[in-house]
Amino acid sequence: MVAALIGGGVVVALALGLGLGLGLRRHGAGASGRDRNTSDVLLHPAPGSLWVGASPDWSRYSVKHFDSAVQNHAIIYDAFFHLSDALYTPGCRFNTLTNYQTDEPGDCFDFIAEQVKATGAIMSISLMPDVVGFGLAEIIAPDSSIPARFAAKLKSLADADPRLRMMVRFGHEMNGNWYTYAGHPAEYVQAFRVMATAVRRSVPDRVAFIWSPNANMDYPWGYTGVDSQNLEPGSRNTSDPRFELLDTNGDGVFDHHDDFASPYYPGDEYADWVGLSVYYYNFTDKTQNAQVTPGFVYQAITVGSQTDAALYPNAPNFIQQYSVAKNKPFMISETSAPSLNTSTSAITALDAKSGMWEQVWNASLTKEFPTYHGGIWFDYAKEEGEGKEMALRDFRVTDDPEVRSNFAAYLKKLGERVTWARG
């Protein structure tokens, strides 16, 4: 998610096991390279099932808040973690922007585990290696203690509750230009593998890793601000050690013709799930609300934006290539369509958001892509934008009564297609 325009986060998801009856069924072992236990529901969601998840602003909201809004128990809850020592400190709390301290017991991981425990939901944590001293280079260093410490923490959570299952969305949106870890494909792949290996050694069959780039919305995005370290679009800097990996078609130019995802894929044996960040904005005037264009989500999970689809009809189909063909579950791991209270457009908050949720939780997608499993709604309100476009953008579906009631009603109409936590 673009930092200036789009909220972000890495996901570690804890899914409760079969004993809590999440309503998930098995599907066959895939080409993932990892031995999949057919009793492990985390790795085998029912084909065609739609998961409803949320990423709330934990500094303001709770599991109960979102569950009350949707009139059911969401199956997965997400939290954003900036990887550092602070995560393991008693009283650590966070939202997508910062970690902070309280006088409450338990560290950041304990806090989310306790939140989801009451409902039987999946715990989802986005793990972001963007803090000095905890970046990709430090993770892959031969003497690094970072992977082992993280694995030990997940093991302690698993030991405390045998029903817990975990999913790690490590270094999400690594193909963007808004995080310090973005634009480093070789180091990212190695770090993903190191983290996955360490966790699996400590917590075998209890953790799934999800690989989640940003959707191909006019990739590549190039340099933007101090956090960006990616190559500039149009670069011909063949002396940069990253260039050969990023110039996927080998034409000597880093541009829209290059694959937005493949340089960062960690390998079938390391990624259990695949996902994408998919947001809709008014791309013409970011100071105004906008209605989501028809087919937007379908294009985002396949070839990218409408522009990409028109210009590059032979572009790789992401969900087909990485999910269906490999039999790996797919979810939209971050999604929303923000509204602005300052908008003078006739498009209301309900118009903006309903257009998105109707496409994200669309049963027709599961018919074409049986590995498609819905998404996680980014339920924040935050300042975003640059210059005159800076504004409070409301991504939430839980605040406005009209939006809230219509969202719940839409999900209810989907009936048994939706997999809820049992509570």
3-state helix, strand, coil in the chain (%, to 5): 30, 20, 50
When computed from its CA atoms, the radius of gyration of the chain, rounded to whole angstroms, is 20
Residue found under tokens 């990624």: 271
Select from 132, 8, 146, 129 the least CA-distant residue to 79. Answer: 8
Confidence category of residue 380, pLDDT binned at 50, 70, 90: very high
Q: Which ranges of 33-135 would DSSP assign to H, the alpha helix? A: 63-70, 108-117
Fold of 11-415: TIM Barrel (3.20.20)
pLDDT band at 9 (very low <50, low <70, confident <90, very high): very low
Active-site entry in 334, 389, 402, 416: 334
pLDDT per position as a tens digit, 16-51: 332 323 333 223 333 333 333 323 667 889 999 999
Candidates 104, 114, 138, 173; catalytic one: 173
pLDDT digits (tens, 9 = 90+) for 113-169: 999 888 888 888 899 999 999 999 999 999 999 999 999 999 999 999 887 887 899
Q: From residue 9, give the alpha-carbon distance in Å to each of 46, 169, 173, 246, 296.
A: 26, 9, 8, 23, 22
Q: Which of 65-74, 80-89, 219-228, 380-389 has the lowest mean pLDDT?
A: 219-228
Integer angstrom CA distances of residue 238 from 129, 254, 257, 339, 413: 27, 10, 17, 42, 54
Spatial distance between the Cα atoms of 277 and 290, rounded to a whole number of angstroms: 19
With a pLDDT cut of 90, the percent of the chain lying above it is 69
> pLDDT band for position 266 (50/70/90)?
very high
The answer to whether 297 and 354 have CB atoms below 8 angstroms apart is no
Determine whether 173 is an active site residue.
Answer: yes
**CA-wise closest residue to 199 among 165, 140, 267, 152:** 152
Give 128's strand partners. Answer: 82
Alpha-carbon distance values, 105 to 14, 92, 100, 114, 200 (Å): 20, 9, 13, 11, 28
Could you tell me the pTM of the whole model? 0.89
| Closest CA relative to residue 164, chosen from 173, 154, 172 | 154
334 flagged as catalytic? yes
Distance in angstroms (rounded) separating the CA atoms of residues 396 and 382 = 10
Report the interhelical angle of 63-70 vs 401-414 (nearest 10°): 70
d(CA 171, CA 265): 12
